[in-house]
Each structure stands twice: as C-alpha cells, then as structure tokens.
Structure 1
Amino acid sequence: MSSIYQHFRPEEKPFIDTVLDWKEYVENTYAPKLTDFLDPRQQFILQSVIGDGADVQYGFFGGRERSERKRALLYPEYFKPEEKDFHIGLYEIEYPRKFIKIEHPMVLGSLMSLGVKRDKFGDILADGDRIQFFSNEEIESFLMTELQEIGRASVQLRKLPLEEAVQVPEQWKEKEISAASLRLDGIISAAFNLSRQKSQVLIEQKLVKLNWKTVENPAAECMEGDLISARRLGRCKIIGLLGTTKKNKARLKIGLLK
C-alpha cells in the first residue's frame, strides 16, 4: 500500500485514502459510488489509484465534453453509466444585465459564502453577460432558495438542459518543452519563456497557483496532472513526463492556455 503514496505529494495522502475507501465501497456493495466535483489533479490521482482493473471501473463527467472540473462515478463491471447518473445541473444566473456586471470571481465568492464547499460546484461559464455554472443536483433546492445576491445585484437561478451550456472558446495548445528540473520556477520559465529569476519573483509575489492553491515556494516539485496558473501569463497543465534529454533536462508534454 505504501508504494501508492510514494508517487504523490505527502499532502495528497488523505485524498488517496478517500479514493481507496470509495473503491472498497464499490467492491463490498457491488453498487456505484458518485463523488463530488474533482479538479484535474484529483482526477489524475483517482485514475492512478483505481487503475484498469475489471472489478472497479470509473468514468468522469462535468456537464459538457470539455469540462475541467468533473464528478467521478466508480462502478462495478455490470453497471453501464449514463450522463444522468452523474446528477449534474446547469444553472444560468438571471440579473439586471444592463446595469450590473458580474464576473467569475464574484460568482464563486457568492456560492462559497452560502457555506457550500467548492467541490459541490463544477465549471463556471461566462460568455459576454451570460453566466452559468454546473453544480450537484443534490443541492439544487438550496441554491434556488438561498442564492439571491451576487455583489450588489439581485439574482435568480434558472435551470437549463446540459446541452444549453454556453460554448466558451478555450483551446489548449499542446507542446513539448525541456526544463532544468521539475521545480515550479523551472516549469514556469520553460512554459512561458521567462528567466528563472522572473519566475521566482512571480511566485514570491503570490501571483502563481499550483492546482488552485497559491504557492510561495519556487522549489515546489511539479508532477504529471498538475495545473499551474500565473497571473497575466495564462495557464499551463502538465500532460505527461517524457523522461530526460541528453543534457539531463526534464522533458515534458504540456498544454498552454493564454
């Protein structure tokens, strides 16, 4: 069992234990287990821990094909999952658009202020003045009743079919890079074509997030499945580790979104 943990960060051990509990539940009950929304790193960990065994299988769905945050469904081999089994709702925010501007951080802040954890919500979609988000259907009645304000705007929620999600253009450009190491500052330098010094300054100024958490340590080790966002530069996700170059640099396949 300890061999599983050595491939991940020490702080990820509680989540690995949770995944193992989900797996054991499916094995013991022979029934499916639905999770809350997982970020891409958590999805990667779940895939790694569950593996390709026949006894327990898994699927991901976040409300649309290109969702970043997704719910996972673990299930025994007899079960044939459908989209409806993920219990995801799509909600559009109705507000006085002519007079008020609502942005992504305001929506997330208002949702969190209701006392609901982040993992109950999926992606937030903004297309001009139209704003939608995905959420667990289990908390739908609570959201409909309690979400009445965002910033200074009075709001109402309207549930829509999933296929009516706004199409937000988001194209990741894949490329291979070589970095001096898997340190966070080294990956940022190689991905965004910056000097190591500038990368370190960005990190020290708290302008960099690793898997949605602000990181202040330039030496933080990066792993496959990580998502890095640097303010004003964009986002980078580590798709795969490809070994080392002849000069002993790390080779990586990354996705870039600017």
Structure 2
Amino acid sequence: MSSIYQHFRKEEKEFIDQVLGWKSDVELMYAQKLTDFLDPRQRFILESLIGSTGDILVSFAGGEGAERKRALIYPSYYSPTQEDFQLQLLEIVYPSKFVHVEHKHVLGSIMALGVKREKFGDILFTDEMLQLVVAKELSSFMMMNFTQIGKSSIKVNEISWDQYLPSNEKWQERFVTLSSLRLDVVMAGVLNLSRQKAKLLIQAGKVKVNFREVDNTSFECAEGDMLSVRGLGRCRIGEIEGKTKKDKWRLNMYILGG
C-alpha cells in the first residue's frame, strides 16, 4: 500500500484513501459510486488509481470543457448515462446592463450561503448570460436561497442541457523543457517570466495550484496540476514525458492567457 502513496504528495493521502475506499465499495457491492465535483488534479489521481482496463472503470461529466467534474466509478459491465451523474444546469438572471459581475463575485456569494465548493461545478459566462452547474440535490436550495450577488438581486432557474454554454476559452497546447518541476521554474518557463518575477508572485500570494494558494517557491508540480496566476492567466500540466538526454523535464502544457 505504501508504494501507492510514494507516487503522490503527502497531503494527498486522505484523498487517495477515499478513492481506494470508493473502488473497494464498487468491487464489493457491484454498484456505481458517484462523487462530488473534482478538480483536474483529483481527477488525475482518481484515473491513476482506478485505471482504464480493469473490472472497475471511471467516467466524468460536468459540461463540455469543464474544469470541475463529477466522477462515476462503476463495474466494467455497466454503461453510464448522463442521468447517472445527477447534474443540473442553472441559469442566473441578473441586471447585466447595469451590474458588472465577475467569477469571484459569484463564487463568493455562493460560498457565503454555506455551500461546499465540491457541490457545484463551473461558473459559465457570456456577455449577458450566467450559468452554473450543480449537483442535482442542490438545485432546489439554490433556487430558493441564492437571491443576491453582492447587492444585486438575481433569480435562479433550472434549464435544460441543450442550453449549456460551452466555454469559449482557448487553451493552447505547448511542449516545454524545464530544469526542474519546482513551481517557480514551471511558472517562469510557461508564462515567459524571469525566475525572480515568478518567485515574487508566489511569495505575494498571487499563485494558486489546484485552486489553493501556494506561497512555497519550491513546491513540486505534478501531472494534472492547474496553476493560476492573478492577472496573468492559467495553465494545466498534461503529461510529464520524462527527462531529456540533457537531464531536463519535458512537459505537455495547456495554457490559457490572462
């Protein structure tokens, strides 16, 4: 068992144990297990532990191009449907002509209601429309209680998935070669910053890894990590292909501009 943990971070042990528990339950009960919304790194861990060819499989859903998705773990003989993921798409109606609303305003207002972050998925914007993906069991609560963003009154409606607004974000795939997987090195190499600039941003609390602030410049990055830098954009680590002949790491990155 300890050999499993060595492939991941120490702070991820609790989630690894949870995944192994889910897998064991599915094996014993021959029934599917639906999770809350998971971030990209959690999905990477889950896929790594479940695998793709055994008696237990995993699928994800949360909307096209979504960052946060629910996972369904199930016996290989089962064929999942969209309904299995128990997702609800909500439309948030607000006075868009008079009020400027950003992602952080919506997120803060939802969290202020006491809703746990893992119970809802992506927040989707266009110029005049705002949508939210939630666990179906949360839908009625949101329609009754989510009535304001800041000082602006809003109305929340359930809508069908054929009205879903896929993200218009354009991610660019890029291969990079880096001297190490330290956070400051990855940031500098991917975002075309100096190493010193990257360190200052990290130490100033402007960098998040998997949606959590990290102020340690030597933090070791890994596959599936989502990095975001305030004002500069986001990037996600795809596959770490290993080292080159010159002992440098070769990474497959997905980059979104700020």
Residue equivalent to 1:143: 142
Alpha-carbon offset, residue 53 of structure 1: 4.2
1:163-178 mapped onto 2 (5 Å cutoff): 163-178=162-177
Residue equivalent to 1:179: 178
Alpha-carbon offset, residue 200 of structure 1: 0.5
d(CA) in 1 for partners of 2:90, 2:64: 17
**Are residue 162 (structure 1) and residue 161 (structure 2) matched?**
yes
Alpha-carbon offset, residue 108 of structure 1: 0.8
Residue equivalent to 2:228: 229
Residue equivalent to 2:7: 7
1:65-76 mapped onto 2 (5 Å cutoff): 65-76=64-75
1:7-156 mapped onto 2 (5 Å cutoff): 7-62=7-62, 64-156=63-155
Cα deviation code 1:188-223 (max 9, x no counterpart)? 111011111111011111111111111111000001
Residue equivalent to 1:245: 244
Which residue identity does 1:79 align to in structure 2? Y
Residue equivalent to 2:189: 190
d(CA) in 2 for partners of 1:245, 1:77: 37
d(CA) in 2 for partners of 1:152, 1:82: 39
Aligned residues: 257
d(CA) in 2 for partners of 1:80, 1:46: 19
Which residue identity does 2:67 align to in structure 1? E
Contact 1:26 1:75 survives alignment (8 Å): yes
Residue equivalent to 2:213: 214
Alpha-carbon offset, residue 139 of structure 1: 1.3
Alpha-carbon offset, residue 97 of structure 1: 2.5
d(CA) in 2 for partners of 1:65, 1:90: 12
Contact 2:92 2:154 survives alignment (8 Å): yes
Contact 2:237 2:254 survives alignment (8 Å): yes
Task: State the secondary structure of the residue aligned to 1:60.
Answer: strand
Task: State the secondary structure of the residue aligned to 2:181.
Answer: coil
Task: State the secondary structure of the residue aligned to 1:48.
Answer: helix
Task: State the secondary structure of the residue aligned to 2:196.
Answer: helix
Alpha-carbon offset, residue 245 of structure 1: 2.3
Cα deviation code 1:27-66 (max 9, x no counterpart)? 111111100100000000000011134321110001x221
Contact 1:101 1:129 survives alignment (8 Å): no
d(CA) in 1 for partners of 2:188, 2:180: 11
Cα deviation code 1:138-190 (max 9, x no counterpart)? 11111111111110111111111112112331121111111110000000111
d(CA) in 1 for partners of 2:172, 2:97: 35
Contact 1:241 1:251 survives alignment (8 Å): yes
Task: State the secondary structure of the residue aligned to 2:247.
Answer: coil
Over aligned residues, Cα RMSD in angstroms? 1.1
d(CA) in 2 for partners of 1:54, 1:249: 34
Task: State the secondary structure of the residue aligned to 2:224.
Answer: coil
Which residue identity does 2:31 align to in structure 1? A
Which residue identity does 1:21 align to in structure 2? G
Unaligned runs of 5+ in 2: none
